[in-house]
Structure 1
Amino acid sequence: MEEQIDTPTRIEHPGECLSLLEGLCQPGGAALLFAAQPGQPHPVVLMELDPEEGLVIDISATPELAGRIERNDPFHLCGQVDGAMLRTPSLNVLGRCEAAGRVQFLCAYPQWLDLLHRRSSYRAELHSDMLVVVELHLHGGEQVLRGRLVNLSLGGCLVELPAREAVRLEGPQVLDRLVLGFPGGQRLEVPARVCHMHGELDWQSMRFGCQFLGISGDQERRLWLYVREIEREKARASHNGNRALQPSALFIQRAPLTQALPAGGNPLPGSSIGRRLGRVAAYLDTQLIKLRHGAAVDSRQLSRHSDLLLELLATDRDSLLFAVLHQPGEPLLVQHGIALAVRMADMAQARNLPRQATKAIVAAALVHDLGKALLPVELRLARHLDAGQRLAFGSHVGLLRERLDSCKWLAGPVLDAVVGAINERLDGSGYPQAAPAERLGELARMATVIDVVDAMSRPRADRPPQPIDAIYRHLLASTGQFDPQWSQRYIRHFGLIPVGSLVRFGSGQLAWVRRLDREGQVGQVQLTASPALDPRGSGPLLSDAELSGLGPIESIVLPELA
């Protein structure tokens, strides 16, 4: 698009004119131009402005202009306001002002202003309370990411996405379409592509620059209208509505657009555990994105979120064990890392490991699989791997270790066990080293058991999720691959029917297991009418003697995936 100043926009509304003129009152904001010399600006100061009294212009820095002004040589004021060129019409001089040591003139207040933007590059910035929803339709139309508009120009826009949405972007890519949705109901679809990552906000949100591709003349006209209306709304809001400027039709809300934005956190009802766990997930989402863009693992943030996870475990163990099984919308790498970290910490604490050692285990578990995000997409999504592909797949361990160099506080033996050896097997059939049993220590053996339990409970490209009883049978039958002592310890520690399981009672009632008693038996459940977790539809909690009315537990049910 050619870089040129477009036809000026005529501003006639008194409130908007006053807001714009106030921008010329800043030091160095105004210049005086004579009609006979339009290319020679003279610096002046706009001292006062009042729609009833007029404008007071101070030319003390250029007193030689006084004669020309008194001879009524036509002139106007101009200056930059919010990235645009503002110009008044020719001003009528009402008289010279009396000001000791100053040269000032009173001019009639202008009835209109001209505003000139460099249209192709001008970006209108939105205030935080100006919610415009942006939909990014990924190639193929199967996924739609929703975020908020940060700024808008004719050439593109900046979009803020929650981390859990942003993590689904693989990098720069062409979109099927980008859709702008304003509170007033106006929508515009344009072809676009994601160009670059702009940065993260407190590890909870990410910003991405998007470029519009081949927009039509009508789309360009509408985009320019939106840019102007955003600026108009900002001018109105900057004075708290005290000016007589009416709200822009774009921002008169007709529908609760906030519902269109994805809700953050975990759907655990009645507890802050889920929301705080969502902060850990958002950190991992953002870390995944930054890894794809060449960054290392952030040592400080990994330490901070490992502490947070340990704090949650100490606050409400059962609620946390329940929450890690239900993190809809999060990438499987993130869900798996969090679940592994929580269970490893729980077992480590049960064996009285020091807190710093447990924290290192948590940290290593959180990120242990993130190297998979650095593999080619076709390798990550492949249903079956040949020998060469299996070797290439195993490289994710080394890719992640390279990005952990800055985490000096992480003990090397912990990294070796949890990141390096978690995919090894006692019979040497694992990866990346095909390490035999004698090279696998106790921590690695514990990690492999916990890892496979959670991995088998989640869907994979080549198989559906497995029920916990089938997973336990697999562990106990695979003594050549998994340490039988750690398999039995895991089952005793978390129970035959662990917290988070969905069970069906003899009465036909479905319920979520929320707590086990000291003997490892189901001690509390939450009734549900659906095999999909829905906090709004969750039933009452029943404990101890209240459970007897439901009859015996008939089966463990695989939950429906959200």
Structure 2
Amino acid sequence: MSEASQAAQSAENEFTPINSVVELATYYDALSQPGVAMLTLLGPAEKDHPVVLVEQLEEDYLLFDLTAIRDVAPPLRRGGKFILSGFTPGGLVRTNPISIREFTTVESRLLAYADWPTEIHVKQRRASFRASLRIGMNVGVHVRSKDNDKEELVELQGDLKDLSATGCLAEFFMQDGVSRVLPDIATEIELYFPNGTSFEVKAKVRHLKTDNDRQVLAVGFEFEDVSKPQEREIWGYVREIEREASRSAGNGDSRSESELFRVRDENDQKLSRRHGHTYATPMARKMARIAGYLDSQMVVMKQGQQVNSSQLSLHADRILDMLEDDRQETLFSVHCIHRESRWVKHGLAVAVRLADLLNAAKMPRDLRKAVVAAAMVHDLGKGTLPPEIWRATTLSTDVYEEMQSHVEAIVEKLENVKWLAPVVRDNVIAQINERLDGSGYPNGLKDKQLGQLARAAAVVDAIDAIQRNRPDRPAMSPVAAAKSMQTRTDQFDEAWVKRYIAHFGPLPIGSLLRFEKGQFGWVVGLDAKKRVNRIRISPHKLAPDDKLGPPIEGAALAEFGRIRDVLVPES
């Protein structure tokens, strides 16, 4: 075989033949988009001409508009053959040689019918044809999985961005608590179209990308265990998306709207994600953006990615700025975050309180920034471990040792955060679970082996932790938590426990009170002597939300009478 023949054969081998009817129809719809299709006359004077593919009828015909290239009509009328080709989302497409079977003129337009090609060849640019949705095309994506914190089914709602026969790309809002669902070994996905059509398939996460400016997490899914009927159904959706994208491309296409995209109910909550989350305060909304960042970081960590250094720096600065802007509102805001993973909520609370405590100790901003960054992420490594560990009421020795690996897991993910001083990282992350009596982990350090920063961090961490429910014990109120810490001087630095209580007060901001007249109220302000001087009434005992009443203080506060109970919020 000559070199020329070998080259031709090699080029031919780069193309994959396609003969599935539904796939062919999808590719022809893609070729119908403006500026895509090319008609190449075969013969001595072979030449390419841009052509408009107007319509197709499956297994019957393709309809072309030759008005702009009338000079090709004569050779085609004489039986000349041509190849239809073009670049589509699935790759470079070309047909076998085909010919025109009929010409017609409609309102000065020259139209031509060709037999529907039953095979095309595709030079792949990606694994499969991928149809992208245009702006205004809304398809809901619902991902269901067991909560990583609890034994219950939870759902995450997002927007479909593109679809192929093998998978899809979807975007989820960071503040929706993405880590509670993603990623998982086996995830159930439902695609939900505007006309109410839904399709369910199993999938696994293949890749993740965060967009912190838009506050979204883009997730690539690969479908699993797809049956032949399901595969055909997916191809049908791919084709309809491609067809609707072409119709809505703003080129004057007069084709009718795809049935899938006929909106059945303008208020259908399943159609696409809603970003209209409400929060108890403006400061809580700011804190939610930071919580969303941390939650998405835990998801990408599960996929083996590192913590984003610049974003960690940015959000650590934001927390310090929030404390400087309104300290009491910032302290209250950590109680208003409830969609994210418990590791995120706990890390934010520790970061804010530890930074506030160290500010009172006159520590410089650069040091407090590093402390905030370390505290925010100190427990995210727990999210990379099997969730069964955190649901257990007792732990075997082996499982307890596996649990301790969360410390090493997060330290490894911080390797590219060069600005975070190792001494701060070690004190706030590696030693926050150590105890003065050596009973802590991971290294059993004790007494003088622990620095002041580690001692302070351990106190703030423990007081917040015992105010949160765990499978092996219920949560304590702020008052009970403080009393518990005062009895554990063998494990925690007594001086830092006293400083904590003196700084935040016996009824700290974020305490939920019940007054003698029955009202529930959240503490949102303390006076200089750490006495409650401002509350916000709540109609329930859940986390603070937009149903809170306005701030109440002074004589109006006195009308509620004495404080009867300090409560643990219901989860």
| TM bracket (short chain) | 0.7 to 0.9
Counterpart of 1:148 (choices 136, 140, 159) is: 159
CA distance in 1 between counterparts of 2:459 and 2:401 reads: 22
- Tell whether 2:19 aligns with 1:5: yes
Deviation at 1:154, TM superposition (A): 2.9
Counterpart of 1:299 in structure 2 is: 309
Counterpart among 83, 106, 110 of residue 108 in structure 1: 110
Q: Which aligned pairs between 1:158-557 and structure 2 lie closer than 5 A?
A: 158-163=169-174, 164-169=176-181, 171=183, 173-175=185-187, 177-190=188-201, 192-202=202-212, 204-217=216-229, 219-239=230-250, 242-253=252-263, 254-257=265-268, 267-271=278-282, 273-533=283-543, 535-557=545-567
* Distance in 2 (alpha carbons) for counterparts of 1:47 and 1:118: 19
Query: CA distance change for structure 1 residues 433 and 532 in 2, over 3 Å: closer, same or farther?
Result: same
Q: 1:128 to 1:339 in 2, by over 3 A?
A: farther
SS at match of 2:47: strand
- Structure 2 CA distance for aligned equivalents of residues 94 and 229 of structure 1: 28
Q: What TM-score, normalized by structure 1, do the two folds share?
A: 0.83
* Structure 1 pair 81–246 and aligned structure 2 pair: CA distance change class (3 A): farther
Percent identity between the aligned chains? 32
Cα distance in 2 for residues equivalent to 1:184 and 1:417: 56
How far is 1:414 from its partner? 1.3
Q: CA deviation at 1:405?
A: 2.4
Residue in structure 2 matching 1:124, options 125, 131, 148: 131
**Alpha carbons of structure 1 residues 447 and 221: separation in structure 2 relative to 1, 3 Å:** same
Cα deviations by residue, 1:127-181 (Å, 9 ceiling, x for unpaired): 2432211122326872223222122223332232334543234645223x42111
Deviations 1:91-112 (A, max 9, x none): 87899xxxxxxxxxx9823468
1:45 aligns with 2:59: no
CA distance in 2, matches of 1:21, 1:394: 56
User: Are residues 395 and 49 of structure 1, via their aligned partners in 2, closer, same or farther at CA, if it must alter by over 3 Å?
Assistant: closer
**d(CA) in 1 for partners of 2:169 and 2:554?**
54
Q: 1:374 to 1:505 in 2, by over 3 A?
A: same
User: Is the Cα–Cα contact under 8 Å of residues 74 and 91 in structure 1 kept in the other structure?
Assistant: no
CA distance in structure 1 between the partners assigned to 2:89 and 2:220 by the alignment: 22
Q: Which sits farther off after the overlay, 335-344 or 391-400?
A: 391-400
Once the two structures are TM-superposed, the CA of residue 448 in structure 1 deviates from its matched residue by: 0.9
Residues 403 and 174 of structure 1, relative CA distance in 2, 3 Å threshold: closer
For 2:75, which of 63, 69, 78 is the aligned residue? 69
Deviation for aligned residue 1:213:
1.9
CA contact (8 A) 2:210 2:218 kept: yes
C-alpha distance after superposition, 1:318-367 (max 9, x if no partner):
22211212221211111111111111111111222111111011011111
Asked if the contact 1:456/1:466 (under 8 Å) is kept, the reply is: yes
Q: Secondary structure at the match of 2:420?
A: coil
Post-superposition offset of 1:54: 4.8
Structure 1 residue 81, shift from structure 2 partner: 5.2
What is the count of residue pairs matched by the alignment? 527
Q: Is the 8 A contact 1:264 1:278 kept in 2?
A: no
CA, structure 1 residues 303+41, in 2 after alignment: closer, same or farther (shift >3 Å)?
farther
Higher alpha-carbon deviation: 40-49 or 125-134: 40-49
Cα distance in 1, alignment partners of residues 347 and 293 from structure 2:
12
Shift of 1:226: 1.9
- Shift in Å, 1:257: 4.1
- Aligned to 1:323, the other structure's residue is in SS state helix
What SS does the corresponding residue of 2:153 show, helix, strand or coil?
Answer: coil
Residue 138 (structure 1) aligns with: 145
Q: Find the aligned partners of 2:64 and 2:159 in 1 and give their Cα distance.
A: 41
Give the secondary-structure state (helix, strand or coil) at the position aligned to 2:300: helix
Q: Aligned to 1:57, what secondary structure does the other structure show? A: helix
Work out the CA distance in 2 between the residues paired with 1:404 and 1:18: 45
C-alpha separation in 1, matches of 2:193 and 2:120: 23
Distance verdict in 2 for CA 1:450–1:9, change over 3 Å = closer
CA contact (8 A) 1:266 1:278 kept: no
> Are the equivalent residues in 1 in contact too, given 2:30–2:88 (CA < 8 A)?
no
Q: 2-side partners of 1:263 and 1:440: how far apart? A: 47
**Mapped partners of 1:399, 1:252: distance in 2:** 48
Q: Say if 1:205 and 1:198 are closer, same or farther in 2 by CA, change over 3 A.
A: closer
- Give the secondary-structure state (helix, strand or coil) at the position aligned to 1:179: strand
Change (3 A) 1:92 1:403: same
Alpha-carbon shift at residue 370 of structure 1 (Å) = 1.8
SS of match in other structure, 1:167:
helix
RMSD (CA atoms)? 3.6
> CA separation in 1, counterparts of 2:359 and 2:318?
16
Give the secondary structure class of the aligned counterpart of 1:229.
helix
Between 85-94 and 482-491, report the one with greater CA deviation. Answer: 85-94
Measured against aligned partners, the alpha-carbon deviations of 1:290-338 in whole angstroms (never above 9, x if no partner) come to 2222222222221111112212222222222112122212111111111
- The answer on whether the counterparts of 1:515 and 1:522 sit within 8 Å (CA) in structure 2 is yes
One-letter amino acid of the structure 1 residue matched with residue 84 of structure 2: C
- Distance (whole Å) between structure 2 residues aligned to residue 144 and residue 53 of structure 1: 48
Please give the secondary structure, in 2, of the residue aligned with 1:537. Answer: coil
Secondary structure of the corresponding residue to residue 69 of structure 2: strand
8 Å CA contact 2:177–2:341 kept in 1: the answer is: no
Distance 2:322 2:338 in 1: 19
State whether residues 86 and 113 of structure 1, in contact with CA within 8 Å, keep that contact through their aligned partners in structure 2. no
Aligned letter for 2:68? V
Q: Please list every run of 5 or more consecutive structure 2 residues that lacks an aligned counterpart in the other structure.
A: 1-15, 55-62
Query: Residue 196 of structure 1 contacts residue 208 of structure 1 at CA under 8 Å; is this kept in 2?
Result: yes
Q: Secondary structure in 1 aligned to 2:75?
A: helix
- TM-score, normalised on structure 2? 0.82
**Code of the aligned partner of 1:108:** L
- Further displaced range: 43-52 or 286-295: 43-52
Match of 2:340, as an amino acid?
Answer: E
